[in-house]
Structure 1
Amino acid sequence: MPSQPRPIVVFDGDCGLCNGFVAWLIRRDGDRRFLIAGSDGPVGRAALSAMGLPPEVAASTLVVATARGPQLRSDAVAAVAAGLGWPWRAAAAMRALPRGIRDTVYRFVAARRPRRPAEDPSCGTPPRALVDQWRARLATLDDVAELTGAGNAPC
């Protein structure tokens, strides 16, 4: 049975909170279930396009591109939590709250997030201790094609 393609977490590489979230994810995703892509790079833009989303959505929204379609804002956070081990998986219970409430909280936090220019916004700014792991998790155009069932895409 073929394995499922890994979801791609598309994030704003110039966002301090987003970079922190990705660092948090890499530290806790020992099974390497998620790939990452900065929204300003060709892979992030391709993932957003494949999900039918405009590129500007990732300027204020975390997106998890999955084989079933995109997860945005609080659904994206819950999707990541659900893919991790205990105790983080328990955070997916936030889905019990109405999406309107969850996304209002998400938008409140997103509006106040710290901005910092990344050396390369297409892949974010990894903490020194995570550089190798971070780079190993960067999605490729082939990963996007596999996720969307489009076959292999040229790099």
Structure 2
Amino acid sequence: MPEVSERAFSYRDDPRVPDFDDNKALFVFDGICVLCSGGASWIMRHDRDARVNFTPGQEKLGQSLYAHYDIEMDESYLLIANGHAYTASRGYLELCRILGGWWRLFQIFALMPERLRDRLYAIVARNRYRWFGKVDYCELLTQDQRRRLL
């Protein structure tokens, strides 16, 4: 899945999308998926400079962004950065760029063809509930992490 936005900040013109602080990147994740919530929690713990905001796809902001970009939450998370939306492997590479430092090491995966990266991503995304399970909504986030949600 390539970058999904046609025009930077197009969501600002969409009345379905609530206003939100887009000065930072926004990571929209599945709040009941163990892998997704656990991953968001892990990113929060390691994003010491709080460069990224978070929202579950089940919340109004997350739902409206998925609708705006015409993406099913089961297909991918969303990363909104500099007004553009990214999904699948490209989104993770962009997230590593945003976080900087040692995270940039993961950008070595950009050498792998995007089609192959995304095919692997799609296999995990389709099977994430079966392989990793579900939890109560945002159960894997600490109270401090829940305060970081938009």
TM interval, short-chain normalised? 0.7 to 0.9
Aligned equivalents of 2:101 and 2:82: distance in 1?
24
Call closer, same or farther: CA 1:138–1:115 in 2, change over 3 Å: same
Provide the secondary structure at the position in 2 that maps to 1:108.
helix
After TM superposition, the score normalised by the length of structure 1 is 0.72
Q: Residue 8 of structure 1 aligns with which residue?
A: 26
Provide the secondary structure at the position in 2 that maps to 1:78.
helix
Q: Residue 137 of structure 1 aligns with which residue?
A: 148
* AA matched with 2:69: L
Runs of 4+ deviating beyond 4 Å = none
Give how far 1:86 is off. 2.6
| 2:92 is equivalent to residue 74 of structure 1 | no
Give how far 1:112 is off. 2.4
Call closer, same or farther: CA 1:92–1:136 in 2, change over 3 Å: farther
2:109 to 91, 94, 97: 94
Deviates further, 87-96 or 68-77: 87-96
% identity of equivalent residues: 24
Aligned equivalents of 1:43 and 1:126: distance in 2?
20
Unmatched runs of 5 consecutive residues or more in structure 2: 1-21
Unmatched runs of 5 consecutive residues or more in structure 1: 140-155
For these two proteins, the number of residue pairs brought into alignment is 126
Q: Residue 53 of structure 1 aligns with which residue?
A: 69
Q: Which deviations, in whole Å up to 9, do the C-alpha atoms of 1:39-89 show, x marking residues without a partner?
A: 11101123334xx323x5222312101233110001111122112243222
Cα RMSD (Å) of the superposition?
Answer: 1.9
Provide the secondary structure at the position in 2 that maps to 1:13.
coil
* AA matched with 2:33: C
* AA matched with 1:8: L
